[in-house]
Amino acid sequence: MLALGKRYGMALQLINVLRDAGSDLRAGRCYFPEYELSAAHLTASQIFSEPERFQSIYRTWLDKAKAGLECGIRYSRAIENRRVRAATVLPALIGARTLSLLDAAGPTALQRAVKVPRGDVRAITLLLVVTLASRKVIDAIFNRAKL
């Protein structure tokens, strides 16, 4: 559980980095490893002017976040108390939807804010409450959110 929890927490942090990458870059902050940018012959200042070249790096980190969320789902499913399970899995389900939106946005994700609509968050929360955080429902929501 410790290893799953650690990967889950790291994935949630990574989702925030990926979601905020455009605004961070505009503010002069870049959280992508310099060695990865160098390997692609990019600097942080070139990411906006050549977003297609940056996509392979961005997609690698999207995949890492997806793998971490898989750990979060496994972690959450192992929790017996349904209330604790619901509270623990909710960020993973919202995160999976966020990653799906970022993936679908492609290079434009850096140009605009990508957020899960409040209605979607309410729907996920309601499903968890109504089904008492059923593992079957958790799996269904997670699989629907993934690409």
Give the number of other CB atoms < 10 A from CB of residue 11. 23
Residue 119 pLDDT grade (very low, low, confident, very high; cuts 50, 70, 90): very high
Q: Say which residues have a Cβ less than 8 Å from residue 74's Cβ, sequence separation at least 6.
A: 4
Q: Which domains does the chain have, with CATH numbers?
A: 2-145 (1.10.600.10)
What is the overall mean pLDDT for the chain? Answer: 96
Q: What is the pTM of this model?
A: 0.94
39-60 pLDDT per residue, tens: 999 999 999 999 989 999 999 9
In this prediction, residue 147 carries a pLDDT of 55
Distance in angstroms (rounded) separating the CA atoms of residues 78 and 31: 32
In this prediction, residue 109 carries a pLDDT of 95
Average pLDDT over residues 110-126: 96
In this prediction, residue 146 carries a pLDDT of 77
CB 19 within 8 A of CB 114: yes
Q: What are phi and psi of 37, to 5 degrees?
A: -65, -45
Max CA separation in the chain (angstroms): 51
Average pLDDT over residues 17-27: 96
Tokens matching residue 102 = 């970022």
Average pLDDT over residues 107-120: 95
Nearest CA-CA partner of 14 in 88, 53, 72, 54: 72
